[in-house]
Amino acid sequence: MKSYINGAALALCVTLSSVAFADESMPGMDMSAHQHHHDMSGFGHPASANQAGRTIAITMNDLSFSPAAVTVKAGETVQFVVHNASAADHDFTLGDKATQEAHRKEMAEATNSQEEMQHHHHHGGNALTVKAGKTAKLAWTFDQPGVVEYDCNIPGHYEAGMAGTVTVTP
C-alpha cells in the first residue's frame, strides 16, 4: 500500500512538473498536456528526438492507423511522427497488452467526467493525443524483442480496430 501511495505521489509530481516544463519550454505544445506513466521497463522508454536513428511516419485515419504494423530492432530509438488525418481527436499510446488495457480503463473512466476528459491529453512518455488535422512526435527506445502495440484508447476507437503493432526484433 505504501509503495502505491508513493508511486501515485511521484506520478502527480512528475505530471505537474511535465506541465510546467511544457508551458515554458515547448512551443506549440498543448498547455493541458501531461505525461502518461506506466511501468515501461518491459517494452522500452522515452527518448529525445536527437537520439532517434530513424523516423517512422504514422497516419491516424478515422478508425485506423497507417501503417498498421512496423518493425524495429531491440535497442533502436525511433521518432514517431504521428499525423491525424481524421476529423476526430485520437490517442497514440505505445505499450504492452497490460499497459494498453490499463490505459483503456482510465480513458473509459475519464469519459464519466466531462471535466476530467477535457484534461486527459497526452504529450510525452508513452502516449500523446493528436487533435484533428495536427501532427505530434514521440521518440522511443525499444529495449527488448517482442511485440508492442500502438493503440488509440479513446473509448470505442480501439474496439473499432484502431490499433497497430511494432515488432521488435533481436
pLDDT at 137: 97
Residue 8 makes CB contacts below 8 A (sequence gap 6+) with: none
Residue 164 makes CB contacts below 8 A (sequence gap 6+) with: 58, 65, 67, 68, 69, 70, 149, 150, 151
Q: What is the CA radius of gyration of the chain?
A: 15
Closest CA to 107 of 62, 157, 42, 166: 157
The answer to whether 96 touches 43, Cβ cutoff 8 Å, is: yes
Question: In this predicted model, what pLDDT tens digit does every residue of 58-82 receive, in sequence order?
Answer: 999 999 999 999 999 999 999 999 9
pLDDT at 114: 53
Reading the chain (170 residues) residue by residue, the pLDDT tens digits are 444 333 333 333 333 333 322 332 333 333 223 334 444 558 999 999 999 999 999 999 999 999 999 999 999 999 999 999 999 999 999 999 999 999 899 888 887 665 444 444 554 589 999 999 999 999 999 999 999 999 999 999 999 999 999 999 99
Q: DSSP per residue over 5-28, as a string?
A: HHHHHHHHHHHHHHHHHHHHH-TT
Question: In this predicted model, what pLDDT tens digit does every residue of 5-26 receive, in sequence order?
Answer: 333 333 333 333 333 223 323 3
How many residues belong to the chain? 170
pLDDT at 65: 98
**Is 133 exposed, middle or buried, given 0-12, 13-18 or 19+ CB atoms closer than 10 A?**
exposed
pLDDT at 14: 34
Q: Which strand ranges, in their side-by-side order, compose the sheet holding 146-151?
A: 33-36, 121-125, 127-130, 90-95, 146-151, 163-169, 69-73
Query: What structural domains does the chain harbor?
Result: 40-169 (2.60.40.420)
Q: Which strand ranges, in their side-by-side order, compose the sheet holding 77-84?
A: 45-46, 135-141, 77-84, 54-60, 65-66
